[in-house]
Amino acid sequence: MTDTASTPLPVHADGPEGPYREIVDGLRAEFRAGRTRSMAWRRAQLEGLLAMLNDHEDDFVRALQEDLGRPVLEAFTADVGASKQEIAHTLKHMERWAKPRRAGVPLTGLPGRARVVPEPLGVALVIAPWNYPIQLLLLPMAAALAAGNCVVAKPSEVSPACSAVLARLIPRYLDDKAVVVIEGGVPETTAILEQRFDHIFYTGSTDVGRVVMRAAAEHLTPVTLELGGKSPTIVAADADLDVAAHRIVWGKTLNAGQTCVANDYLLVEASVRDVLVDKMTAVIGEYFGADPQRSDSFGRIVNERHLARLTGLLEGHGGTIVTGGTADVEDRYLAPTIVVDPDVDSPLMTQEIFGPVLPVISVESVDDAIDFVNDRPKPLALYVYSRSKETVERVLGQTSSGGACVNHGIVHLIVPDLPFGGVGPSGMGAYHGQTGFDTFSHLKSVLEKPTKPDPPLLYAPYSSWKEKLIRKVL
């Protein structure tokens, strides 16, 4: 998900190394001054984010069109609108999330009162990807700010128009002494990662996630890694195939397939495979017309390097392309493509696709589909289409994935109270809603004991009666 071959666009940099230590030290001083802890300050930052999105919606949409060729409605819905919804939810609930949480005290701890106190961590680093460059920078930032932290925000250089808009507007709407945007490419990101942070939140590829984790280990900094993987879709023979075709094609063509939770491949019971493929082919025409390249509703691949990677996946896969497969380098266009029964060991089936190419694999049964999924790394998302509750529960109960959605795809992300994150190689940690607030908080345990009474039960000298009593209690 992260492109490392683009020209850096440094803003806060005097060269490849940049004054990053000074920036982080300045933010840490602001945090220690205590201003960011107040609920009024936290509320002002989130209100600033909402005002920025409202005031400059057109700027963000134009930048998304420039970087990704996104249709206007798609750009608004997936980046601007989704960000506004999540930030508004956080703004509504964060005061409750920040309150101490009561905890029970066992008999051995009485008399006493216990509570869990959320407190901000300090200075957080948020590194965003290029595919949803607005949403995936602002939502982790909002969670960090709601929890009372200072933030270094690093937008992706692969979406330069969006990066420039964010770098220009964020200092105008947020506290620029506590929130800093740093633009740039690999040299800048590498130098930033050499600094000590209190939390690092990274969204992107698994390979770069390893780099981030190694850098964080130098300072024992906790990390949240939102990565990717090949998210499977299981279609049972009893599924509503008309609905499944529409929702699967929508999920695979949203942002031209450049979505970390896009349905990466289909596992379809053989008895309905051909019918579903025909229906999906028809839906592509319904959505984008006879020539999707001319459609105002279909986006573009982010750059030529990623397009070349995708066209490479369409070579030597051993399957049958039933629709699509054409590309236009100058237009950064790849047609919506369906590949039936490719070789399961081909790059198309072993690498995350991250584009509008959908492999369809025939399976004899849902149980075979479950085995197929379990033989591979745990995915970020899993989707199942079936009218049978028993089938759905069997799939959910016998597989592991970061998240799951039944009879739809991707839309589980829009529920603020559902934690979003991966498992195993698809990521660690989660955010959205209170989970995001807690991610950027230290949940401090506090036990208060009165000074009277002060029973000597645990004090020396130990005696047989003390031992007997303690053994009864424990």
- 260 noted as active-site residue: yes
Q: Which of 252, 158, 142, 253 is nearest to 201 (CA)?
A: 142
Q: Is 333 helix (H, G, I), strand (E, B) or coil?
A: strand
Mean pLDDT of 435-452: 97
Which tokens in the block code for residue 303?
Answer: 């750059």
Report pLDDT for 5: 34
Cis peptide before 111 (omega within 30 of 0): yes
Q: 86, 150, 188, 260: which is the annotated catalytic residue? A: 260
pLDDT band at 12 (very low <50, low <70, confident <90, very high): very low
> What's the maximum distance between 2 C-alpha atoms anywhere in the chain?
89
Place of tokens 């002494």: 177
Report pLDDT for 361: 98
- 162 noted as active-site residue: no
**Range(s) of the chain covered by CATH 3.40.309.10:** 232-414
Backbone phi, then psi, for 378, in 5-degree steps? -65, 130
pLDDT band at 184 (very low <50, low <70, confident <90, very high): very high
Contact 120, 36 (CB under 8 A): yes
**Does position 239 have pLDDT exceeding 80, yes or no?**
yes
CATH of 232-414, one of 2.40.100.10, 3.30.70.20, 3.40.309.10, 3.40.190.170: 3.40.309.10
Mean pLDDT of 36-54: 98
DSSP 417: T
Report pLDDT for 404: 98
Distance CA 231, CA 380 (A): 6
Report pLDDT for 15: 45
Contact 162, 60 (CB under 8 A): yes
* pTM of the complete model: 0.94
**Does position 13 have pLDDT exceeding 80, yes or no?**
no
Q: 86, 188, 226, 352: which is the annotated catalytic residue? A: 226
Q: DSSP characters for 204-248?
A: S-HHHHHHHHHHHHTTT--EEEE-----EEEE-TTS-HHHHHHHH
One-letter amino acid for residue 408 of the chain? H
Q: DSSP characters for 93-110?
A: HHHHHHS-EEE---GGG-
Distance CA 241, CA 255 (A): 23
Report pLDDT for 473: 84
Contact 52, 173 (CB under 8 A): yes
Q: Is 384 helix (H, G, I), strand (E, B) or coil?
A: strand
CATH topology of domain 20-227+424-446: Aldehyde Dehydrogenase; Chain A, domain 1 (3.40.605)
Q: DSSP characters for 249-313?
A: HHHHHGGGG--TTS--EEEEEHHHHHHHHHHHHHHHHHHH-S-GGG-TT----S-HHHHHHHHHH
**Range(s) of the chain covered by CATH 3.40.605.10:** 20-227+424-446
Distance CA 474, CA 466 (A): 12
Which tokens in the block code for residue 169?
Answer: 């507007």
Report pLDDT for 18: 60
Mean pLDDT of 261-269: 97
Q: Which of 351, 374, 348 is nearest to 359 (CA)?
A: 348
Report pLDDT for 393: 98
The 10s digit of each residue's pLDDT in 357-376 is: 999 999 999 999 999 999 99
Q: Which of 220, 183, 215 is nearest to 202 (CA)?
A: 215
Distance CA 332, CA 323 (A): 18
Pairing state of beta strands 123-127 and 199-203?
A: parallel
The 10s digit of each residue's pLDDT in 113-122 is: 999 999 999 9
Cα torsion angle, 184, 206, 313, 400, sign:
negative
One-letter amino acid for residue 181 of the chain? V
Chain centroid, CA 173 distance in Å: 24
**Does position 16 have pLDDT exceeding 50, yes or no?**
no
Chain centroid, CA 332 distance in Å: 25
Burial of 32 (0-12, 13-18, 19+ CB in 10 A): exposed
